[in-house]
């Protein structure tokens, strides 16, 4: 087949029934790009000899050097299947975890996916992730089991063993799908039950509970991968071959005279060919017979490999070549590398492109078959239900699913799009999925006024492009149902956008991102004068990359946040070469920490139990330390309660910091979305508006409440959940402000749950309620240890006294509690009898000095009361925090490493050196590969992947994904206190303190004061014995 002409593709674009938009998904290195090469070669775009070696869609230099894909790329291919001609818009996605956001965008654009699995490695973490992403986007997957050649050549399995192995892999993949399916059915069922419950309440009471989970009734057989369903292809992309059982069924039905349908059903499975009876029988395994798949399919491939690659038997090869009826060129058969001959034979005998593309055309849906469910999901953002959307919007759904004919239709056209890629030259591009026809000259011509709708702007598209891998073809018009590039949106789109000709179209739901951006670096240009170029470049990068975040920190630094080390490298390269085109320098990665408090330890650093007196000693110490901090406005009692008065003496707050149980912190951390919704609802309730929230979000909120209640048990937490005042920082973080003020009943944060019944009773907020919350937010945003956000801390406000607005006239009024009352009463009478009486008692001059006339005149010099209260609460929280044992929390990666047995030891070595902790280790059945799952602090992860690769000669490569925050057990402020600790650590206790090291590093970076001894060894060393 020659190079498909542009006209051909344009004509194919007009027939959406024969368009397939698909992406290739897999774990890293499972052979996506290699497979894509074979498909591209089938269109004559690259030579088939180079297929698998060129990796055509890895067009970037760094992709070629590193051998991994970093950006998705799209290409349009043509394929004739039967008497139909198809247009395939193919997107090759990266498999490395750092780029999983690229996968999210790719799945959003497609209607189907080819999931590739390595026949040796089987289902890997990213395989599960991509299957889930495809599931969440409601797109249909088909499976390619790749690298079957490795089973023959590397693992040296027999064909029978290989069959068992392949069966296992299929089971693994189906297990993932099964889990996804079950959870969906259960969820739907829960939703249905609730509706029924509501209806049931209305109608009658006698309902019999239905115990079945609903799983039995739902037919899920079409979801699973099975060769007899035609949605599985076995392949070796690098050798250019691949087949589905249809292919062999076709051959053998001719050759053996067995019906094709029978073969289709029996070629995969526990069937064997009985020579005597000349029939296909069941129960191969039980009778010890060769299954049909082994006998008729695998054996042929095995003997071919045996002849060509393993034994290099020329005669046999010739025999095979003639029996297969393929032609081999002389230079191929003489080539020193047997793989060349092998691919020459295989690519004619079982061309992988044909197997995969036929399956794609038959099994994947066309854009016309887009599920109604998917459209609804796309359009109902956040808590909204689809049927609560305006009618005009709901109408668009039919527009999106209606069959768009060739040409253009202007009624209610919806042009939906996702920004994909921004390059500087050629002009800025965005690949879009057009759901209805768009014509260039008209662009977006909605006549309605759009200015008052937030985040909505009008733009016109300047260019439309066909994406052809490394090249672009400019097009005049693109009919609906295609993947294409759009130029001229640079000014309008930040990261992603929904394009529509109708302003009624809501923005589509945000993409499901699996990776969290966690690695941050500060960036600056080499030459300071080039700052504007850098700023512009960073803006473009922000647009082009779905996952990278660009921000300016309070310090004025330009910060880039990326998902991981490899992603960071790519973003920097992009900035240098494409977007900013200047020399830049990046700081060392800034590693995030969290600050928290813990319960007082029960044992000391040498694992001796802390007795009562020693504990007293510790408390004593804390006291001593805090005494230094105490002033006349601040008071700290031995139970950790901090009382602080505002400078104008009007308000006093008492705050205590309590560590939250770990599970509760984790729950808050993972429910930030729910808390955010809760906050939005409360905000609108406070403003007197009512927000139309869906049952599902309400349910999520009440779930959260119930879970919190079950986690916060015990005397200390009695009624705590009801008393929650706010979450923080930023109002949705994993810290809690608790209202323990006696006599202050404020409306609960959960009030949206009991809307209707209690809303009227709810008491009003006290004045300055908001200031207390703001003070808490500030305190939670940066802690006292190194100004990092807090996590898992509960601040319980136990006292909050506000005196009425009349400002006290005397600065020293607090001293005499008994006289305070009188003081306020008489406050307006300057120089009253009482004051003068006292003044007489004290030396007159001293009294004057203390009274400071400007203070007496007004309290205004301290600023507004709300501001003072914010500062007071913030300070009180900080001191309360410091009164507890403080700890740092480190961000942790989970890390999955596949390694062979012989390099296992080295992997453990590297992990140990970097403070990693192995969670479990498992042997992959049938191989000598081990999967190791470990956790590793982000702070120690830089260069980890490289080190592992080097130490194991490239045999193991880790995948790092951010997982959670973990308390670092050592106390950064630790000094020896008990006898044993002195003995063990010595007076100076200068052994390594990891937490202190981290804390000081952060403090130094932020320009904070770092307490360090400069002269470490100025004294003569004494032996411990003398010291005692």
Ligand X SMILES: Nc1nc2c(ncn2[C@@H]2O[C@H](COP(=O)(O)OP(=O)(O)OP(=O)(O)O)[C@@H](O)[C@H]2O)c(=O)[nH]1
Q: Residue 89 or 959: which CB sits closer to ligand X?
A: 959
Q: Is 33 in the site for Mg ion (CB under 5 A)?
A: yes
Least separation in angstroms between residue 341's CB and Mg ion is 26
Cβ distance 682 to 751 under 8 Å? Answer: yes
- Binding span for Mg ion by CB under 5 A among 27-35, 111-119, 672-680, 917-925: 27-35
**Residue with the closest Cβ to ligand X?**
95
Shortest Å, Cβ 92 to Mg ion: 6
31: number of Cβ within 10 Å: 25
Least Cβ distance, residue 127 to ligand X (angstroms): 11
Pick 94 or 479: Cβ nearer ligand X = 94
- Which residues partner with 76 through β-bridges? 89
The backbone torsions φ and ψ at residue 428, rounded to the nearest 5 degrees and listed phi first, read: -55, 135
- Give the Å distances, CA to CA, from 460 to 449, 457, 491, 877: 15, 10, 11, 52
Q: Which does 26 bind (CB under 5 to 8 A by kind): ligand X, Mg ion, none?
A: ligand X
Tell the smallest beta-carbon distance from residue 609 to ligand X (Å).
52
Which entry of ligand X, Mg ion, none binds 29, CB below 5 to 8 A by partner kind?
ligand X
Q: How far is the CB of 28 from ligand X (least distance, A)?
A: 4
Nearer to ligand X, 60 or 705 (CB): 60
CB neighbour class for 254 (10 Å; exposed up to 12, middle 13-18, buried from 19): exposed
Of the candidates 468, 423, 415, 353, the residue with the CA atom closest to the CA atom of residue 89: 468
Q: Which of the choices ligand X, Mg ion, none does residue 863 contact, using the CB cut-off of 5 to 8 A by kind?
A: none
* 968 touches, from Mg ion, ligand X, none (C-beta below 5 to 8 Å by class): none
Torsions phi, psi of 843, nearest 5?
A: -60, 130
Residue 236 contact among ligand X, Mg ion, none, beta carbon within 5 to 8 Å by kind: ligand X
Interaction partner, residue 604 (ligand X, Mg ion, none; CB < 5-8 Å by kind): none
Question: What is the distance between the alpha carbons of residues 105 and 431, in angstroms, rounded to a whole number?
Answer: 10
Minimum distance from residue 916 beta carbon to ligand X (Å): 24
Q: Which range in 24-32, 137-145, 830-838, 949-957 contacts Mg ion by CB under 5 A?
A: 24-32
| Beta carbon of residue 337, minimum distance to ligand X (angstroms, whole number) | 14
**111 vs 149, which CB is nearer to ligand X?**
149
In angstroms, the CA 557 to CA 95 distance is 32
100 binds Mg ion per the rule CB under 5 A: no
What residue number has its CB nearest to Mg ion? Answer: 69
Going from the C-alpha of 793 to that of each of 872, 934, 945, the distances in angstroms are 18, 27, 34
Span near Mg ion by CB under 5 A; candidates 29-37, 291-299, 464-472, 485-493: 29-37
Query: Which residue, 97 or 932, is less far from ligand X as judged by CB?
Result: 97
Cβ atoms of 184 and 340 within 8 Å: the answer is no
Q: 3-class secondary structure for 70-130?
A: CCCEEEEEEEEECCEEEEEEEEECCCCHHHHHHHHHHHHHCCEEEEEEECCCCCCHHHHHH
Short-list 697, 729, 722, CA closest to 595: 729
Task: Answer with the entry of Mg ion, ligand X, none that 149 interacts with (C-beta below 5 to 8 A by kind).
Answer: ligand X
Find the helix packing angle between 159-202 and 695-711, rounded to 10°. 100
Specify burial of residue 802 (Cβ count, 10 A radius: 0-12, 13-18, 19+). Answer: middle
CB of 66 to ligand X, least distance (A): 8
Please report whether residue 799 would count as binding Mg ion according to CB under 5 A. Answer: no
Nearer to ligand X, 26 or 701 (CB): 26
* Binding at 874: pick from ligand X, Mg ion, none (beta carbon under 5-8 Å per type): none
Tell me which of 32, 520, 731, 887 binds Mg ion, using CB under 5 A: 32
- Residue number with CB closer to Mg ion (32 or 520): 32
DSSP E strands: which ranges in 469-597? Answer: 471-475, 477-478, 483-487, 519-525, 549-552, 558-562, 584-586, 593-597
Residue number with CB closer to ligand X (55 or 430): 55
Minimum CB–partner distance for residue 52 and Mg ion (Å): 12
Q: Taking CB within 5 to 8 Å according to partner kind, which of Mg ion, ligand X, none is near residue 522?
A: none
Q: How many residues in total does the chain contain?
A: 1028
Q: In whole angstroms, how far apart are CA 491 and each of 461, 533, 654? A: 11, 16, 51
Residues of span 943-1002 touching Mg ion by CB under 5 A? none
Comparison of 131 and 995: residue with beta carbon closer to ligand X: 131
Q: Is the distance from CB of 280 to CB of 273 less than 8 angstroms?
A: yes
Rank residues 66 and 576 by Cβ distance to Mg ion and give the closer one: 66
List of E strands, 200-322: 232-236, 241-243, 271-274, 279-282
Hey, is 17 helix, strand or coil? Answer: helix
Q: Using CA atoms, how far apart are residues 106 and 420, in angstroms rounded to an integer?
A: 9
Single out the residue of 534, 530, 529 nearest to residue 550, CA to CA.
Answer: 534
CB of 93 to Mg ion, least distance (A): 8
Binding-site residue total for Mg ion (CB under 5 A)? 3
4 near Mg ion, rule: CB under 5 A: no
In the bound state with ligand X, the residue whose beta carbon lies nearer, of 437 and 927, is: 927
Helix, coil or strand: residue 186: helix
Binding part of the chain for Mg ion, among 25-33, 656-664, 824-832, 1010-1018 by CB under 5 A, reads 25-33
147's contact among ligand X, Mg ion, none, with CB below 5 to 8 A by partner kind, is ligand X
- C-alpha span between 563 and 350 (Å, rounded): 40
Report d(CA 154, CA 954) in Å as an integer: 16
**Distance in Å, CB of 176 to ligand X, minimum:** 18
**Which residue, 129 or 361, is less far from Mg ion as judged by CB?**
129
Sites of contact with ligand X (CB under 6 A)? 26, 28-34, 55, 67-69, 94-96, 146-147, 149-150, 236-238
In the complex, least distance from residue 94 CB atom to ligand X, rounded to whole angstroms: 5
* Site for Mg ion contains 69 (CB under 5 A): yes
In the bound state with ligand X, the residue whose beta carbon lies nearer, of 97 and 996, is: 97
Distance of closest approach, residue 346 Cβ to ligand X, in angstroms = 11
Sign of CA dihedral 252, 258, 264, 266: negative
Q: Which of ligand X, Mg ion, none does residue 430 bind to, with CB < 5 to 8 Å depending on kind? A: none
Query: Is the separation of the CB atoms in 553 and 559 below 8 Å?
Result: yes
Query: CB of residue 212 vs ligand X: minimum separation in angstroms?
Result: 42
User: Please, which residue, 354 or 665, has the CB nearer to ligand X?
Assistant: 354
The residues binding Mg ion (CB under 5 A) are 32-33, 69
């Amino acid at each position: 087949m020659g190079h498909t002409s542009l006209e051909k593709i344009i004509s194919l674009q007009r027939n959406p029934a024969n368009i397939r938009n698909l992406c290739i998904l897999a774990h890293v290195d499972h052979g996506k790009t290699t497979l894509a090469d074979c498909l591209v070669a089938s269109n004559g775009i690259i030579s088939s000899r180079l297929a698998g070696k060129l990796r055509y869609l890895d067009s970037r230099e760094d992709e070629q050097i590193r051998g991994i894909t970093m950006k998705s790329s799209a290409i349009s291919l043509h394929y004739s299947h039967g008497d139909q001609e198809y247009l395939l818009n193919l997107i090759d996605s990266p498999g490395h975890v750092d780029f999983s956001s690229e996968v999210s965008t790719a799945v959003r654009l497609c209607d189907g996916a080819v999931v590739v699995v390595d026949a040796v490695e089987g289902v890997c973490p990213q395989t599960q992730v991509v299957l889930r992403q495809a599931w969440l986007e409601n797109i249909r997957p088909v499976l390619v089991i790749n690298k079957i050649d490795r089973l023959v050549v590397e693992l040296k399995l027999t064909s029978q063993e290989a069959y068992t192995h392949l069966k296992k892999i299929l089971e693994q993949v189906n297990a993932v799908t099964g889990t996804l399916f079950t959870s969906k059915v259960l969820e739907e069922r829960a939703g249905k039950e609730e509706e029924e419950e509501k209806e049931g309440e209305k109608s009658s009471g006698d309902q019999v509970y239905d115990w079945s989970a609903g799983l039995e009734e739902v037919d899920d057989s079409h979801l699973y991968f099975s060769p007899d369903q035609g949605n599985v292809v076995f392949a070796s992309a690098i050798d250019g071959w691949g087949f589905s059982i249809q292919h062999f069924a076709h051959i053998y039905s001719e050759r053996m005279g067995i019906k094709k349908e029978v073969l289709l059903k029996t070629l995969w499975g526990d069937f064997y060919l009985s020579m005597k009876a000349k029939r296909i029988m069941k129960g191969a395994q039980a009778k010890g017979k060769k299954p049909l798949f082994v006998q008729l399919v695998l054996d042929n491939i095995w003997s071919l490999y045996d002849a060509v690659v393993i034994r290099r038997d020329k005669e046999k090869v010739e025999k095979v070549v003639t029996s297969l009826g393929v032609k081999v060129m002389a230079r191929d058969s003489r080539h020193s590398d047997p793989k060349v001959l092998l691919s020459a034979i295989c690519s004619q005998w079982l061309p992988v492109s044909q197997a995969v593309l036929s399956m794609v055309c038959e099994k994947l849906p066309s854009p016309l078959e887009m599920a109604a469910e998917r459209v609804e999901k796309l359009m109902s953002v956040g808590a909204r239900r689809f049927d609560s959307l305006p009618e005009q919007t709901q109408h668009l759904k039919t527009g999106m699913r209606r069959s768009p004919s060739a040409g253009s239709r202007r009624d209610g056209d919806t042009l939906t799009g996702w920004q994909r890629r921004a390059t500087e030259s050629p002009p800025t591009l965005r690949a879009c999925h057009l759901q209805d026809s768009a014509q260039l000259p008209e662009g977006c011509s909605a006549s309605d006024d759009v200015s008052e709708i937030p985040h909505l702007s009008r733009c016109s598209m300047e260019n439309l492009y066909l994406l052809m891998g490394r090249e672009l073809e400019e097009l005049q018009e693109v009919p609906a149902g295609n993947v294409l590039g759009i130029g001229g949106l640079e000014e309008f789109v930040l990261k992603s956008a929904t394009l529509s000709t109708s302003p009624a179209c809501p923005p589509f739901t945000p993409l499901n991102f699996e990776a969290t951006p966690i690695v941050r670096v500060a960036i600056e240009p080499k030459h300071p004068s080039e700052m504007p170029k850098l700023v512009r470049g960073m803006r473009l990068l922000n647009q082009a990359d779905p996952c990278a975040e660009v921000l300016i920190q309070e310090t004025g630094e330009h910060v880039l946040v990326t998902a991981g080390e490899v992603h960071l490298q790519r973003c920097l390269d992009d900035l240098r070469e494409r977007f900013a085109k200047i020399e830049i320098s990046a700081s060392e990665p800034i590693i995030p920490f969290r600050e928290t408090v813990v319960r007082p330890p029960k044992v000391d650093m040498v694992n001796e139990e802390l007795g009562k007196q020693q504990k007293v000693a510790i408390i004593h110490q804390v006291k001593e330390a805090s005494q230094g901090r105490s002033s006349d406005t601040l008071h700290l009692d031995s139970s950790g309660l901090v009382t602080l008065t505002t400078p104008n003496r009007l308000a006093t707050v008492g705050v205590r910091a309590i560590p939250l149980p770990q599970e509760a912190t984790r729950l808050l951390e993972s429910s930030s979305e729910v808390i955010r919704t809760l906050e939005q609802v409360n905000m609108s309730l406070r403003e007197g508006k009512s927000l139309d929230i869906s049952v599902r979000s309400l349910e999520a909120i009440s779930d959260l409440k119930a879970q919190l209640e079950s986690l916060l048990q015990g005397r200390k937490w009695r009624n705590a959940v009801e008393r929650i005042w706010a979450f923080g920082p930023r109002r949705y973080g994993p810290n809690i402000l608790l209202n323990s003020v006696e006599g202050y009943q404020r409306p609960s944060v959960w009030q949206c749950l009991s809307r209707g019944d209690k809303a009227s009773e709810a008491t009003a907020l006290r004045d300055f309620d908001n200031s207390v919350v703001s003070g808490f937010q500030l305190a939670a945003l940066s802690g006292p240890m190194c100004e990092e956000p807090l996590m898992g801390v509960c601040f319980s406000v136990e006292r909050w006294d506000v005196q009425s607005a009349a400002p006290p006239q005397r600065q020293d009024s607090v001293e005499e509690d008994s006289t305070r009352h009188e003081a306020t009463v008489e406050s307006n009478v300057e120089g009253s009898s009482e004051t003068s009486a006292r003044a007489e008692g004290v030396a007159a001059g001293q009294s004057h000095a203390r009274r400071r006339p400007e203070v007496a005149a007004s309290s205004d010099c301290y600023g507004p009361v709300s501001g003072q209260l914010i500062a007071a609460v913030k300070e009180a929280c900080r001191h309360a925090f410091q009164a507890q044992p403080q700890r740092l929390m480190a961000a942790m990666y989970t890390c999955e490493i596949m390694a062979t047995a012989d390099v296992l030891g080295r992997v453990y070595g590297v992990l140990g050196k970097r403070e990693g902790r192995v969670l479990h280790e498992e042997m992959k059945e049938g191989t000598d590969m081990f999967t190791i799952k470990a956790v590793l602090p982000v702070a120690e992860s830089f260069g980890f992947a490289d080190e592992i690769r080097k130490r194991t000669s490239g045999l193991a490569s880790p995948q790092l994904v951010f997982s959670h925050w973990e308390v670092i057990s050592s106390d950064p402020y630790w000094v020896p206190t008990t006898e044993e600790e002195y003995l063990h650590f010595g007076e100076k206790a200068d052994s390594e303190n990891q937490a202190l090291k981290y804390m000081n590093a952060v403090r130094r970076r932020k320009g904070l004061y770092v307490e360090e001894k400069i002269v470490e060894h100025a004294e003569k060393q004494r032996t411990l014995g003398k010291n005692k």
